[in-house]
A and B are shown apart, each in its own frame.
Chain A
Amino acid sequence: MADGVPVLALKGVRHTYGQGDTATEVLHGIDLAVHPGEFTALIGPSGSGKSTLLNLIGLLEQPTHGEILIDGAPTATLDDNGRSALRNRALGFVFQFHHLLPAFSALENVLMPTLVNGGRAGAGSVAEAMALLEAVGLGDLHGRRPAQLSGGQQQRVAIARALASRPRLLLADEPTGNLDTHTADDIFALFRRINREQGLAFLVVTHDPRLAARCDRVVQLVDGNIVADHRQGQTP
Chain B
Amino acid sequence: MPAAPRAPRLPYDWLLALRFLREGRAQTLLILLGITLGVGVIVFLTALIDGLQQNIIARTLGVQPHVTVSAPDDRVRAAWPRTDAGTPLLSQASPRAQRLRSIPGWQQTATGIAALPGVRDVAAIVSGPASAVRGQAERQVALLGVVPGEYQRIVPLDSYLVEGNLRLQAGEAAVGTELARELGLRVGDRLRLQTATRDDVFIVAGLFTVGVREADERWVFVPRRSAQTLLELEGGATHIQVTVDDIFAATQVAESIGDRYDVKSESWMQVNRQLMTGLRSQSASSSIIRFFVLVSVAFGIASVLAVSVAQKQREIGILRAMGTRRTMVLRVFLIQGGVLGVAGSLLGALAGTGLALLFANLALNPDGTPVVPVMITPSLFVTAVLTATVTGLVAAALPARRAARLDPVEAIRNG
Q: Which residues of A contact B (CB under 8 A)?
A: 55, 58, 60-61, 80-81, 84-89, 93, 95, 99, 101-104, 107-108, 111-113, 115-123, 125-126, 129-130, 140, 142-143, 161, 165
Contact = CB atoms under 8 A, between A and B. Distances in A.
B348 interface: no
B57 interface: no
Interface stretch (B154-162, B219-227, B241-249, B314-322): B314-322
A78 to B, nearest CB: 12
Interface centre among B6, B327, B412 (most CB of A within 10 A): B412
A58 B321 contact: yes
A89 B322 CA distance: 9
A118 B12 contact: yes
B20 interface: yes
Contacts of B322: 87-88, 93, 112-113, 116, 161, 165
A140 B2 contact: yes
Interface string B319-330: 111111111100
A235 to B, nearest CB: 32
Nearest to B323: A88
Contacts of A99: 314-315, 317-318, 412
11 contacts: A60-B408, A81-B325, A84-B323, A84-B324, A95-B412, A101-B19, A117-B323, A118-B328, A121-B7, A123-B7, A125-B7
B11 A120 contact: yes
B81 interface: no
A112 B5 contact: no
Contact of B326 (A80, A103, A119, A125): A80
Given A99-B412, A103-B23, A121-B7, 9 more contacts: A93-B318, A93-B322, A99-B315, A99-B318, A107-B5, A117-B325, A126-B5, A126-B6, A140-B2
Contacts of A130: 5
A103 B12 contact: no
A154 to B, nearest CB: 13
A89 to B, nearest CB: 7
Contacts of A89: 323
Interface residues of B, number: 31
B8 A111 contact: yes
Contacts of B20: 103
B75 interface: no
B333 to A, nearest CB: 15
B213 interface: no
A18 B199 CA distance: 105
B10 to A, nearest CB: 9
B280 interface: no
Contacts of A140: 2
A120 B322 CA distance: 16
B5 A60 contact: no
A25 B415 CA distance: 25
Contact of A115 (B5, B12, B315, B412): B12
A99 B325 CA distance: 18
Contacts of B409: 55, 60-61
A115 B315 CA distance: 15
B412 A119 contact: no
A121 B323 contact: no
A149 to B, nearest CB: 14
Interface string B8-33: 10011101000110110000000000
Contacts of B22: 103
A80 B321 contact: no
B8 A85 contact: no
Interface in B88-112: none
Nearest to A92: B322
B362 interface: no
B288 interface: no
A200 to B, nearest CB: 17
B7 A111 contact: yes
A61 B413 CA distance: 13
A21 to B, nearest CB: 23
A126 B20 CA distance: 22
Nearest to B314: A99
A102 B312 CA distance: 10
Given A55-B409, A111-B7, A101 B318 contact: yes
A58 B318 CA distance: 12
A40 to B, nearest CB: 20
A116 B319 contact: yes
Contact of A84 (B8, B11, B320): B320
B3 interface: yes
A112 B321 contact: no
